[in-house]
Structure 1
């Protein structure tokens, strides 16, 4: 019996029921985690309860009361009454509660790493150990991060954000889910390129948000990007760049859904950064082969994205698109100018992009130097192996580099 999807779906519903009934986010969250662990142990042996959500609410409520009794005896009589009458297990509005919970986990008082960890724990239903494994950090580090986050928001009322702060908090939620997906799509470190548990969780939680233009754009971006996952690595786990991927392996259903979503969003909502990124991903998805890619359209979209949401990765991808349209010499000049930004100059992908452009320009010796530098500074092993291979390609590949201008695929798919 595979319980993880069910438990992760129920976790935020159970937590919101407890918080509404008992108050105290931190204590309720701990109680829910204990209930989830109890379910993971008991359900495979005893069978699935008739009402899994009610079972979890009852167990978590009792755990919450037991913890409260340990802290104080003052309300013993009331707690006994609570134990005899657990909160109503009837479903509460799932989308509103999930959004409220996400907004609380993405409270502006928390740092982005704390927001991510607390979101995955409280809303995603992941254990501390699972989050630690996903981000390749010690479990104690994640536990401390979550503990500090809960202390910072202790006493915060569990309610939807005020109307005048709703969009701001929703932006924070989207950003956290984007960070979770990005880490899952190309892990920042470790020996695996993907962390499917993170990408799947980011997609699931994004589906739970109110479907406005940017949320729809974010979901479309995730679907279109994740659709390429089956073709991004070899059976041995080596990275396959976009230009070399077997497009027959791409998930056609995810591409169809993502394309439909972004087409609707662009036609009905104000344009935002996630929509533009999804539109770029859709253009890549529409190309039957790498040579069919509409690079002028991609460059136009990157120009617009750069104007409303500039950043190091956007700048690098825009430079690669420039090379595809105007040639590597123009792109190298733009890269020289862009690297005056210290954040971009320190990015290992800046070396990878320079190497790619130098290869296109025919300066293979200089390209080798930058591929080696990029390989030394990335912490992801499949990326490192790929960059090392580009630094020392077979002679036959080098002879075709100028013809196959999209040979490396660019950083948009690394």
Structure 2
């Protein structure tokens, strides 16, 4: 059955591809030399997608014909970053990024960064640094959220990451501390430890009735030599969303992430295994599993119990391999998402969960997603072509009026062209 679905999706994509054209840049690739004062760099991702009738695609408009396969194309992301550094004060820099995609033009990053590396020539250390940042940037949380989209091998982050950080970036200030040692020979492991502490608005650039910022802690340890790359760590995010017009009415928002990544080289190529587990409490409503950022309107503040904390769990595992004898890579990714992992003695809250699960058109259950990818790397990795087939499996809902009463047809295929400059 899955083979027939895949064949149908592949059949409709050439029709869509006839109307698509790749994005090119006359400037060419390559960052400006490190001695430059100003640098322009970024990447563009263009997608051609095909989906079954219930699929949610990442570009184009939703499907209105629920009986047929459909295809879409568009610019998923177009990040153009301008960074400036004073030639005399090399520790300081300023960064600004805009995102140009098929929905419009949006500000993405705008921050000032300070990073000072100490002279360690007379010590056993290989790295000693301290830094700070203020402005709009990606929070230093976990594995997938922190990884930029051009570095990530799969087309999108796991769905729970998108619900936790719907705007990807957030406004705040932070401190960074780093120390390293080892790496005296190519086979000797080099160790580095990093600690990030950030205070965040929890709302991107939007307005919110908050008097205390959210706080994020991230601690990680990496080891590497010419054969191995190992990373592991933990992140904790603590914050809240206000409820009602009184400052003491707060809905809990906290996330805990533990993650690890292991990469190794053999004669066949480079293999990488990644894993992340996240649990926490997410502000939500009766018919929406996540209410953070600018999704909160004035009416949500005043109705008691309109926003409440919903427990959740998410886990991701990924295996990738890139061959040395050819510019080809293979990818498999799996993630699990439970949006209603609730333990409470609040009978009213339990009834709200039960009502939603049985009757709400937005009932949330458990979801598992398998993804398979084939990648082609060209022009010293400046150009990457990806074919990625995704198969979601959602928990059935005991409500005949709900789409998840039956097993939805929501497989999708993504063909992506990524160009970095």
Normalised by the length of structure 2, the TM-score is 0.25
Richer in helix (by share): 1
Normalised by the length of structure 1, the TM-score is 0.26
